[in-house]
Amino acid sequence: MKNWQIPSNKNEVIVLFAKLVDYLAANPGLLERELCPAFISTSTFEPHALAACVGLGIHPIAPGLRPLPLLIDYARRMQAEMDRGLRIDTSTAQLFDDHCAQINALTVALEETWFSTRFGAVSESRIVVKAVSPLQTVQLGQEMQTLSTNCSALLTQFRRQKARP
């Protein structure tokens, strides 16, 4: 995890990635577990910094920007509320369905970048790194921002609906 106090740019993200690769090379056993690197910024990400995070498998976290695992978790929680009987209006249900479809599409698009997919341990002193095909990382970063905004709107709607008698 990296915590950054000033507006981030792609160089800080790349440095974090390089440090992570170096650390994994020295500790291949860590690759036996799920790794979820995160870059936390106290301000919004510059578009190319966000694109670097997305392309390198680092989860960006910033004001108004939720990482993909959290977006997935919130969608599951909203679905659980509906499964328990929470009724939502048609427009919110449509937004939720679209939101879930977009989360699934983003997850599939980024799957190759996750550390557990990209890196593997060969021995106690070696790792293997899989190349990733070029991605439209700026666009994928924008999609992540849109999903975060939609998630906030959905959470507001679900809370309102839940508060109704």
Q: How far apart are CA 139 and CA 141, in angstroms?
A: 5
Q: What's the domain range around 22?
A: 2-163
How far is Cα 67 from Cα 15, in angstroms, rounded to an integer? 20
Sheet order of strands, 2-4 included:
2-4, 38-41, 59-61
Count structural domains, the chain. 1
Residue in the block written with tokens 């991605």: 135
Please report the pLDDT score of residue 4 as a whole number: 63
Give 123's strand partners.
126
- Supply the pTM of this predicted model: 0.89
Mean pLDDT by 10 residues, the chain (165 residues): 71 94 93 91 91 96 95 98 94 96 97 93 91 93 97 95 85
pLDDT at 38 (0 to 100): 93
Write the DSSP assignment of 3-20 as a string of letters.
EE-S---HHHHHHHHHHH
Confidence (pLDDT) at 2: 64
